[in-house]
Chains A and B, each alone.
Chain A
């Protein structure tokens, strides 16, 4: 198992290397640079002043030099400074990452906690009212865009309850209940899609597993139906579900962006979007690479977990 994990871990390096080239190239292909965005043509800056800023920011160096500076910085942990605010990029990431991770974690936990039982219930009681409600709910969950849900939830609570989540972010280590109250709606908004996916996936795989011979055998041997359901059926049915959750959590982190903007939560997505508008290259590059790293590591974790749940995979 350890060798398998290590082998997979080694693949992370070339993946990230490829990502770094892609991110760097894409960012530089965007028309307009940070200095253009700073001035938006309106501050009456002389072209020479603009050029002086570009030089001071190192933007006049050849692109390969800039790329090596970026990758070198990442390798040595010297991530540089924001081109617009001058703040250290590491400090920006340290502030933004916990927010997005918490948001994604809450969304994933909520989605799993609700989606798996609903899927199981739906599978063991097919074509009942519960099943029908879960399936229709699942379809709605899949179809509703998260920004629509988020905006509607925000407006609905403000109009009917005269309440919206506190506007400035409250770290969980300072006031956990207030933090959870603040994060509940945003987490739900980005978790609804995953909840629906998990529910449908659990239902489909449970239905399939419940038809397997070994389930019939277990029941024929007189095993308690609860034990069959949870020990034999659910454990096997969960393998694809875990894969889906793993992949989706990565997407959640990316998909949290618009919800972060709506709720004014200064997480990774929000920071990245701001940086893109401002063409703040150093922040964009590090933030995008960090998101890529999280995504890759999550996939790795899923693969390892997969191996643990089904030892046959390791040999493959």
Chain B
């Protein structure tokens, strides 16, 4: 089970995301009606219905999120997150930050890879260095911290020196998505697209692309009480009705289902519905490039915000199961602005104010705009349609244009749109949610260059990256969000729940915030 932060770990600088997240316990993998009182039992096989294929099981640089659904069970990093995104020791049992450019990690002794080799500092050095430029089909990630050099001080000590102070390091490691530790030289010995050798709780037995992945319990796992399950089959079942049918028949023990399908489950006593937030909050993006568009004017963007009734979106599109979202999404530890602040101040629905702002901007007569939306899942377009109706009231005539994801993504990357209804994703560090405003980022260049800039925003963004003191960082990210929610260069909407539906025989499963099935590490089956 999850370790609580010890005093020592706190002193050592652990806990980039601390226990303030406790207040949000109900959003983070809370399982209504979960039978916590029953003693966990070892053994059993479980089949889980995945919504898409992992594409490959490479440890580094995989772009597909579904890859991490597998690798998060097989590989580990130096640190890990608990259910509430508190940073916990993993392969490193402790760490120190002697100066703001140096991290020293003490490795846990006796940790075994699935191949039987013992973990040492050489493996960590090899892995951290290779993560920078992952071998194909992995690709370079912008999340890689600014590591200048990695030294294996002794068998169990690793020193990482940064090119410049970079506070994203611990979150990058704890997230694990791009920071797995693998045995030194593994890429030269094995085809890691279909094979794996990690230290994680499950070992990879087979990966059959487009079909299934079979994992078995790693008996030498360093947390000896885990995992409980003997075997997991991760089966790709893209069709939602197929996942539902397989759940009902017992062919799979758990799967993610949409809100609509969950609403139709009725009183099926054999199934349990788990819900939780992820970082995939919904957002409206604008291109503000000084092209003379009405929304180049901050007042128009403020009017749009005031005219959007987020509660109506939550009720009409998400059946009530969503919350307001700041630029850092709710559920992401202590970093986002509170729900009360969002509802009562920043994202308050206020039509008269919206109209007044439009008049002030000289736009009382309104304008026309095309809002591109992701065609599937449907909620992106549903959001767009509801917003279209809401903005009619301030004379903005919105044309909704649903697009297939490939086209949408291309337009998104190139800034080839007026407005887009999209969703964002997980980041290892809160700075990742603000990174669109880094003037060097490709997103900034595509969406904002020459049209939108705010010196305080840019300066604070870099200050946040360079500050390792957590209290100071909290203040910086609060202020950053306030700037975004004042000037609205992007318009966060809401953050919907996702649903895992499991058969009653599977206990203690939860929805992980980063949308993986890592709950299976602690789950057990009857």
Contact = CB atoms under 8 A, between A and B. Distances in A.
A169 B211 contact: yes
A50 B412 CA distance: 14
Given A158-B249, A264-B211, A44 B441 contact: yes
Nearest to A92: B209
B411 to A, nearest CB: 8
A40 B405 contact: yes
Interface in B51-92: 53, 55-56, 63-64
A244 B238 CA distance: 32
Contacts of A154: 241-242, 245
Contacts of B408: 32, 40-41
A231 B248 CA distance: 50
A181 to B, nearest CB: 12
B56 A36 contact: no
Contacts of A277: 405-406
B525 interface: no
Interface string B191-221: 0011000000000000011111000000000
A30 interface: yes
A86 B248 contact: no
28 contacts: A32-B406, A32-B410, A33-B410, A36-B406, A39-B413, A41-B408, A41-B413, A41-B422, A42-B424, A45-B442, A47-B446, A49-B139, A83-B137, A85-B137, A86-B193, A151-B241, A154-B242, A154-B245, A158-B244, A158-B245, A162-B250, A167-B47, A167-B251, A168-B208, A168-B211, A168-B235, A264-B242, A270-B210
Given A44-B142, A164-B246, A264-B242, A85 B193 contact: yes
Interface string A72-101: 000000000001111100001001100000
A279 B407 CA distance: 11
A43 interface: yes
A264 B235 contact: yes
Interface in A55-81: 56
A223 interface: no
Residue among B64, B233, B250 with most chain A CB within 10 A:
B64
B425 A263 contact: no
Nearest to A264: B237
Given A45-B139, A163-B249, A36 B410 contact: yes
B239 interface: yes
A37 interface: yes
Q: Which 10 A-B pairs have the closest CB atoms?
A: A41-B412, A32-B406, A266-B210, A32-B410, A158-B249, A158-B245, A164-B249, A158-B248, A86-B137, A154-B245
B492 interface: no
Given A53-B139, A270-B210, A155 B413 contact: no
B53 to A, nearest CB: 7
A43 B237 contact: no
B237 A167 contact: yes
A288 to B, nearest CB: 17
Interface in A158-213: 158-159, 161-169
B443 interface: yes
B269 to A, nearest CB: 13
Contacts of A279: 406
Contact of B49 (A36, A85, A166, A167): A167
A49 B142 contact: yes
A80 to B, nearest CB: 13
B407 A31 contact: yes
A167 B235 contact: yes
Residue among B47, B237, B239, B443 with most chain A CB within 10 A:
B239
Given A32-B407, A46-B142, A86-B136, A274 B210 contact: yes
Residue among B249, B432, B441, B445 with most chain A CB within 10 A:
B249
A119 B305 CA distance: 66
Interface in B222-257: 233, 235-239, 241-242, 244-246, 248-252
B141 interface: yes
B187 interface: no
Contact of B136 (A56, A158, A163): A56
Contacts of B242: 151, 154, 261-264
A45 B212 contact: no
B409 interface: yes
B442 A47 contact: yes
A263 B209 CA distance: 15
Which interface class (under 10, 10 to 19, 20 to 34, 35 or more) fits A?
35 or more
B237 A41 contact: no
B140 interface: yes
A50 B249 contact: no
A157 interface: yes
A219 interface: no
A271 interface: yes
B161 interface: no
A85 B55 contact: yes
Contacts of A33: 410
Contacts of B147: none
Contact of A264 (B136, B239, B409): B239
Contacts of B452: none
Contacts of B441: 44, 46
B238 A264 contact: yes
B143 interface: yes
A19 B489 CA distance: 47
Nearest to B135: A86
Contacts of A264: 211, 235-239, 242
B435 interface: yes
Contacts of B422: 41
B251 A166 contact: yes
Contacts of A266: 208-211, 236
B140 A52 contact: yes
A229 interface: no
A85 B241 contact: no
A298 interface: no
A45 to B, nearest CB: 6
B193 A164 contact: no
Interface in A6-36: 30-33, 36
Given A31-B410, A169-B211, A266-B208, A45 B235 contact: no
A4 to B, nearest CB: 40
A38 interface: yes
Contacts of A36: 406, 409-410, 413
A280 B194 CA distance: 18
A38 B251 CA distance: 31
Given A41-B422, A264-B239, 8 more contacts: A38-B139, A46-B441, A47-B413, A84-B64, A86-B136, A87-B209, A264-B238, A266-B211
A13 B63 CA distance: 39
Residue among B64, B241, B410, B446 with most chain A CB within 10 A:
B410
B285 to A, nearest CB: 9
Interface in A225-284: 261-264, 266, 270-271, 274, 277-279
A45 B410 contact: no
B266 to A, nearest CB: 11
Nearest to A258: B239
Interface string B267-290: 000000000000000000000000
B139 A162 contact: no
A161 B249 CA distance: 8
Nearest to B50: A264
B409 A39 contact: yes
Interface string B405-433: 11111101100000000101100000010
